[in-house]
């Protein structure tokens, strides 16, 4: 016997839906994080190399 293919239950999906942050809220959330990127690492390595 083949399994029945089920369609998306939109009512169930809507009930589980959680909206994502708005663009402005994402900018604030990301901006508040202190993230070190590759550029920061390279600058620190160059400073350390000059000091030696």
Residue indicated by tokens 């508040």 = 32
Residue 1 confidence (pLDDT) above 70: no
pLDDT in tens, 6-45: 788 999 999 998 877 777 777 777 776 667 788 888 899 9
Note the pLDDT of residue 23.
74
Residue 47 confidence (pLDDT) above 90: yes
The answer to whether residue 35 is domain-embedded is: yes
Question: Is 46 in a helix, a strand, or coil?
Answer: helix
Number of separate domains in the chain: 1
DSSP 8-29: P-HHHHHHH--PPPPHHHHHHH
What is this structure's pTM?
A: 0.34
Residue 2 confidence (pLDDT) above 70: no
The answer to whether residue 13 is domain-embedded is: no
Quote the CA–CA distance of 19 and 16 in Å, as a whole number.
Answer: 10
Domain that holds residue 29: 22-52
User: Would you say 32 and 40 are in contact if contact means Cβ atoms under 8 Å apart?
Assistant: no
Note the pLDDT of residue 44.
92
């Amino acid at each position: 016997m083949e399994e029945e293919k089920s369609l998306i239950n939109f009512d169930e999906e809507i009930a589980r839906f959680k909206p994502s942050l708005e663009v402005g809220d994402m900018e604030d959330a990301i901006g508040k994080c202190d993230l070190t990127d590759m550029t920061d690492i390279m600058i620190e390595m160059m400073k350390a190399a000059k000091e030696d």
